[in-house]
Chains A and B, each alone.
Chain A
Amino acid sequence: MTPELGQLALILALLLALAQGVLPLLGAWRGNGALMAVARPAAAGQAVFVALAFGVLSWAFLHFDFSVRYVADNSNLALPWYYRLAAVWGAHEGSLLLWIFILNLWTVALAALSHKLPDVFVARVLGVLGLIAVGFIAFILFTSNPFERLLPMPPDGGDLNPVLQDPGMTFHPPVLYMGYVGFSVAFAFSIAALLGGELEQAWVRWARPWTNVAWGFLSAGIVAGSWWAYAELGWGGWWFWDPVENASFMPWLVGAALIHAQAVTEKRGALRAWTILLSIFAFSLSLLGTFLVRSGVLTSVHAFASDPKRGLFILCFLAVVVGGSLLLYALRAPKVAGGKPFGVVSRETAILIGNLMLTVAAAMVLLGTLFPLLGDALNLGKISVGPPYFGFLFTLLMIPIVLLLPFGPYLRWGEKGGLPPLKNVAVRAGIAALACAIAAAFTTGWALKAIAGTAAAVWCCVGTLLYVLKRWREMPAGRRYPAEMAGMLLAHFGVGVFLAGVLLTEALSVERDVRMAPGQVQTIGGYDFRFDGVHVADGPNWQGDQGTVTVMRDDREIAVMHPQKRTYTRGQVQTESAIDAGVTRDLYVALGEPMDRNDPEGAWALRLYHKPFVRWIWAGGLLMMLGGFFSAADKRFRLRREATEKLPASAQESHA
């Protein structure tokens, strides 16, 4: 009975979403206040019913209701409760339910925090979000119903895919979806602005904090995914340029461009049309990401069994969203280039170059990701595009950004002639980068990537710190670092940390697959790894072999590591790597396979890795995430009404 309640709740949510999507937009068009007022209650009601459906599914998982097909497929009696809860979004149907649930969270937050905005505008934004919700709830109900019954009811269920049984995986999808779905808010703002013809700066200021938060979540989600791949897939890589990873990376790139373009539009009025276009792209790429992951059209290490009908639905949805919004854009986008003019050496120019590089990078990733589909359609054969394509082009495209990054805060809006301070910065950061690069050259034995990484990281970090110092000296206490600026500085510093992590790891990692008999010692990166054999270990829903590897340096014991090879209840095999984490290096051990199946106590194939500075990659990503959150918290964004009133001239023009 209960699962049907969930189904019913979803149907009611669909009806409310229809009301939320259609009536307020009509009201805004006709100037009917009553219809516009439907938006908030409809959004709240929809959120209640979706939450109910989500709760019902979670309840079914927690209480082993195997009469629900989705529950039976993805959990069993032996699965611990926390993974049963995570299993709610462990496969297709539930993850879509999570998607829509998060969309509702965003919508409700927006409805609650938007009382200071004009009613017409709010009605349009919530209406657009309602339409998106209609699409997704219909998708769930018609193609991927999580409450479908399975009769007769099996005594025990299947299993949650073992690679998903990991703490990293429990929070990776929700956080990633917070980011994906968050871009729908920026998208709704842009569409509302196009519909209302409000192409002045005001709406951009309202949209900015939402975009920043969404981008922050997306950064966190990608970091979590990368870390999970590192720890769980068992071969110690942190990024594979895999289609599914690219799917989350493209909206991130466009989102990064978007938050910078929004700043220009808000402060200077320039690049308005571009900002709107970017928010359409960011959301479309989020949808494309969902499509790529869920349709299985591309070969991916993350791909799961899938259903072509679903892919078709998302593809149609995507066509409607992209086509519709681009049509609207073509009809309503500002025809005349607006905003204040800017000189060649100005913050606008720097941001524009950065934007260009980020969007071209996103286009490049899109081309590489979809190229196999293209090749298939043109009958070129079965093609895949190797990771070096992405690595090579992405590095080239990011060089200008890295070079410009320290100057960003020093450059002034619009003005010409800010050269002298820039020279100072360039000289100081340049000397620091050069000195550290030379030091790196001698300590790493002229590893080119390590030298480049050190130089680039020091260049970014020192450049950013110099600006921190300048503010500290020149501004009175309390006004030194407004949240918006603090966020920017944190994120830019994060870029430096990230660069150091990536290039040093790439240059200095030692990865060795070896055959080891118990007692044997291998020396890697100055550490002695002693293999102490394998014995049997059991978990709640798996049996496994657990190896013991003792790591020593200069005869001092550093770590005792326990990599595992697990066999889950349904026979799926899963490698659990053992990682000894550190600030300057990770030690990584994974069990390969026994050399002789009949003698698991004997010799094994092992992966032994020494990965210097690998944590810095994720630390950099987390700093960028913090940057997004900090910026969004700026007081300026909260004093909206007052701020609008102080700009009567421009604001009124827009409403005229």
Chain B
Amino acid sequence: MLKTFPIGGIHPPENKITSSKGIKRMPVPKVVYVPISQHIGVPSEIIVDKKEKVEIGQVIAKSSGFVSSNIHSPVAGVVTKLDKIIDSSGYKKQCIVIRTDVKNETNFEEIDFPLKTKIELEPKEIIQRISDFGIVGLGGATFPSHVKLNVREDKKIDCLIINGVECEPYLTADHRLMIEKAEEIAVGIEILLVALNINKAIIGIENNKKDAIDIFKKVTQNNTKIQIAALKVKYPQGGEKQLVRAILNREVPKNGLPLDVGVIVHNVGTIFAIYEAVQYNKPLIERVVTVTGKKMENPDNYWVKIGTPIKDLIEEVGGLPEGTRKLINGGPMMGKAIKNTDVPVTKGTSGILVISEEEASRGKTENCIRCGECVFVCPMGLEAHLLMNLAEKGMFEKASNEDIMTCIECGSCSYVCPSHRPLLDYIRFGKNSVKKLETAKK
């Protein structure tokens, strides 16, 4: 019996077209657009000026609060302007535009370090380095990693969980990374174990990635600290709370964090970034991005510099196919539709999905037939139909009492609704309004 979480969940078609394609390196873009708000929390503070020359890896915007992160220049070049560019939030956000210096060789160096297993730093130094080098959660939530690692003294941690689930359909970035960099990730896990001063880590991988499971089993053969947990394929297993429940059978309390049950969860991509930062002083300036879509000519996985405009990626895989109706930053379940191809890749971009007419259009919204399917699939045990109704009618206080704030926005309810009701749209609206009400009360 494979492990999984008990309530709700769905199994959308996986469509992992690119799972057998090795990660290639994206050519260095001519211009990069680096948004200063790539993480959850306070936007970073710009510390470069127009026309200033920057080196690759130089800090160009520094952390400006507790929950914030440094941002480094992904290329060596010249800051051409500080402008507002539409990013995947759908709004124009402050951006640092850097023109790549084509003569500077550092831009084109292959960044492929040899494996280095010896950990030389003290726990405090490790966390400091993670903070300095701008590491954030690469699974999509982009929560600054050092904040997660700074565990308060009264909390006891006994287990580190590595999220290699990648439950989103289409995306294969984490999958490929696990296959190609298994040894490095294992070292990265060791680094975090040192930083947290614990000796148990479990890597959770869904059973549709058997090759990754096998590789990790081989790599960690002689390592008693790291275990592998093969999980049943079920969306949204990559949600922190679901993953902790699936692997350890511990349930994170309502409004709580995995920290409350003694667990810290990190994504495999984050672990690799931590490995590179700690062992080789490499800041987070590139990440793996899956560029995919059913009609794409050659969908693939790429190492992409942060700030690369999406149109460069699409050109690289053969341009937009005929009949493209939707571009998604992320996976099809939780990704954001973007307005145009000028949107840059950010630290949270795990994939670019191109969707054609047939899949893009939403079905016509019909009356709720009260089938209850949204209730059965909700991994948080919420009643989506009820929450939607309450939000639509503006009864936000009641919605709050029905635990609307615990919704993880996985989209399972909208996915299964036979009447194509925009459940999650309204629930998100309800959450926003509840948040506003709460801040107004304070």
The yes or no verdict on A and B being binding partners is no
Question: B residues near A, CB below 8 A?
Answer: none
